[in-house]
Amino acid sequence: MKRAPKRGWPSTIVGIFLLALMLFPVYWMVNASLQPAGNALYGAWFPFHPDFSGYATALRDQGRNLVTSLVVALGSVALSLVLAAPAAYALAQFRLRGTNLVVFGVLITQMVPSIVVANALYSAYTDLGLLNSYLGLILADSTAGVPFAIIILRSFMQGIPREIIDAARVDGAGRLRVLRSVALPVSVNALITTALFTFLFTWSDFLFALTLTTTETVRPITLGIYQYIGAHTNQWNAIMATAVLASVPAAVLLVVAQRHVAAGVTSGATE
Amino acid sequence: MVRARRWESLAQGMFIVPAAAYLLLFFGYPIVKNIVMSFQQYTPATFYTGAAPFVGVENYSRILSSDLFPKVLLTTVLFTAGSLFVQFVLGLAFALFFQRRFPLAGVLRSLLLLPWLLPLVVSGTTWRWMLDTDSGVVNSTLRHLHLLPSGIPWLTGTSQALVSVILINIWVGIPFNTTILYGGLQDIPTHLYEAAKLDGAGPVKSFRHVTWPLLRPVVSVVVVLGAVYTVKVLDIILVVTGGGPADATETLATQSYELSFQQFEFGRGAAMSNLLIVISLVFALVYLRANRRAKNA
C-alpha cells in the first residue's frame, strides 16, 4: 500500500461531493423504503423513525418473486458456464478451422436487440410449452450470459502457457481432463468474474420476464416491481422496499468482489 | 494417420458444439424467424388458428408510412445521441478527475459503478418516484427553494418527458463511460505528460496534444458500444413513461415491443425490430473496425 499524499484531501472532498450527488437516487430509494405507508406527500429527508412496514408488505407480496429470480439467475449462471467454458477453451487453445468465424459470430450476438429474440421466442415457446417456465426463462436469459462468458473466458485462457497444457497431455490426460484439472483451475478469477456478471444480467432481466411469462406462476422480481407500480401507486414504501431488495445482489457484488467488477466491465468492452 | 487426425479434430470440435448449437438456436433462429415474420400478417387470433398469411412488404410499408414513424425515428435519434454525448462528456470528466491521486480514490471510483449495476427496473422506478410532479423530491426541493412554485411536469409533460428519460439514461451510463475511459487514461505512459510539461505545455495543451490523441481508439470503442446499447434501451422507457405521454417517448424498440406484445401484430413488430437490427449492425461494423484500431494502437 502506497501512502496517499497529504495534499490530496481537497480532491477527496470534491470526490465525495460528486459521489453523493451521483448516488442520491440510491439514498432516496432506501430512505423512501423506510417511510410509513401512504406518506406520499413530502417524504422526510432522513428516516428518523424508520418504519419497516414497507419491507413486510414487500416480502409478503414479492417474496416468491425474489426466490424465482434467484432460481433463474443461478440456473443461467450454471448453463452459461457449462456451455461457454469448453467453447472458450477450444477457441483459445485449439487451432481449429473456423475459429475466427465463431468468434465473429459471438461478437455479433452482442448487437442483437433482445426484443428480436423475444419476438421469435414467444411463438416458439407457445408451441413448445415453455412460456411461464423456469427452463424457458433460464434459456432466454442466457442469451446475455453465454456470449459474454465466451468472450471473457477465451481472452483469459489465451494467456494460459501452452507448456502447462502440453505437459498434462504428455502425462496422458485427455482433452476434457486437461480442461477440468488444468485450464479451469488456473482461470478461477475469470470464472468468478463471469459468474458474477451472468448472475447480475439475469437478475436484472426485464424484457424476457415481460414477454415470456403471462401468469404469476413464474414471475421474476423485475416484473414484480413493474406490476407493483401499476397496481399500488399509493404504497410507495412497499415498492421502494422491493427495489432495495432487488438491489441487494448488485450492492453485495460491489462490496465483496470490487476487483472482479472493474475487471469485468473493462474486459467485456474492449475484447 | 489421416483417420487419427480427423478423430482428433472431431474431438476438439465437440468442445464448441454445445455452445454453437445454443447460439444458433437463440440468436440464429430468432434473426431468421424475425425476417420471415416481418413478411407475414399476425393477428391476436394467429396463436389459436395458426393462420399467418404472407403479405409481402406490407408490414414495412405500413410502418414507414404511418404518421407516428417520423416522430419515433426522431425520438430514437435524440434519445441515443443525447444520452451518448452527455454521458461521454461527464464520464470523461469523472475519469480525468479520478486520475489525480488522492485518498479514497479507489473506493469512490468503485462506488460510482453502483448506478450501472442496479437493475434498470429499479433505477427507473426510483427516478419515477423522484420526478413525480406532485410528491417527487425534485419538484418539492424546487418549491422549497422558491425556484418554481408550480413544479415541472417531468414525466407527464410532452416536451419534458423525453428530456427526463434521457437524463435517467445518462445517469445509468456515466459509470460505464468513466470505467472504460479511466482504463484508457491509465494506459497512457506518464513520461509523455512529463515531456509535455518540460516543453511548457499547460493542462489544456497536454490534454489536447497528449491525452486526446492517445485516447482516441478507446473513445471510439466507448461511443460505438454505447450506441449499440442505447439504441435498444427498452426497460427504462417502459418503466418510467411507458412511451407516453402522447407517444412522446416512443422509440423503435418500445414500438416494436408494443406492436408485438400489446397489439399482437407480430408481423409489424418484427418489421420494426428488423429496422433496429440494421441500425445495430451498422454500429457493430463501426465497432469492430474501431476495436481493431484500438488493439493495433
pLDDT, residue A2, reads 45
Domain of residue B155 covers 62-296
The 10 Å CB-count burial string (b at 16+, else e) for B93-117 is ebbbbbeeebbbbeebbbbbbbbbb
User: DSSP character for B155?
Assistant: T
CATH number, domain with residue B116? 1.10.3720.10
Q: Name the residue facing A254 among B113, B126, B174 (closest C-beta).
A: B113
Question: What residues of A are in contact with residue B218 (Cβ under 8 Å)?
Answer: 270
Output the tens digit of pLDDT for each of chain B's 297 residues.
Answer: 567 777 878 888 899 999 999 999 999 999 999 999 999 998 888 877 878 889 989 999 999 999 999 999 999 999 999 999 999 999 999 999 999 888 888 889 989 999 999 999 999 999 999 998 888 889 888 888 888 778 889 999 999 999 999 999 999 999 999 999 998 999 899 899 989 989 988 889 999 999 999 998 889 888 888 998 899 899 999 999 998 899 999 999 999 999 999 999 999 999 999 999 998 888 878 777 777 776 665
CATH number, domain with residue A185? 1.10.3720.10
Residue B248 lies in a domain: yes
Instruction: Give the contacts of A195 (CB within 8 A, at least 6 positions apart).
Output: A77, A81
Whether the CB-CB separation of A268 and A152 falls below 8 Å is answered with yes
Residue A29 lies in a domain: no
Residue A80 lies in a domain: yes
pLDDT, residue A147, reads 94
d(CA A181, CA A165): 10
d(CA B235, CA B168): 12
Four-point Cα dihedral B140, B145, B149, B155, nearest 10: -40
Question: What residues of B are in contact with residue A214 (Cβ under 8 Å)?
Answer: none
pLDDT, residue A1, reads 41
Quick count: other Cβ atoms within 10 Å of Cβ B31? 17
Question: What residues of B are in contact with residue A143 (Cβ under 8 Å)?
Answer: 26-27
Residue B12 lies in a domain: no
Residue A104 lies in a domain: yes
Residue B88 lies in a domain: yes
pLDDT, residue A270, reads 53
Split into its structural domains, chain B has a count of: 1
Give the three cell numbers for residue A138. 433460464
pLDDT, residue A241, reads 95
Q: Under DSSP, is residue A184 helix (H, G, I), strand (E, B) or coil?
A: helix
ipTM for the whole complex = 0.90
State the smallest CA–CA distance between residue B102 and chain A in angstroms.
4
Split into its structural domains, chain A has a count of: 1
Residue B48 lies in a domain: no
Residue A146 lies in a domain: yes
Output the tens digit of pLDDT for each of chain A's 271 residues.
Answer: 444 455 688 999 999 999 999 999 999 999 999 988 765 545 678 888 888 999 999 999 999 999 999 999 999 999 999 999 999 999 998 888 888 888 888 988 888 899 999 999 999 999 999 999 999 999 999 999 999 999 989 988 988 888 888 888 888 888 888 888 888 988 888 898 899 989 999 999 999 999 999 998 899 999 999 999 887 667 888 999 999 999 999 988 888 777 676 666 666 555 5
φ, ψ dihedrals at A130, nearest 5°: -100, -5
Domain of residue A266 covers 53-270
Residue with cell 449492425: B281
Residue B21 lies in a domain: no
Residue B28 lies in a domain: no
B45 touches chain A (CB under 8 A): no
Residue B22 lies in a domain: no
pTM: 0.91
d(CA A26, CA A23): 5
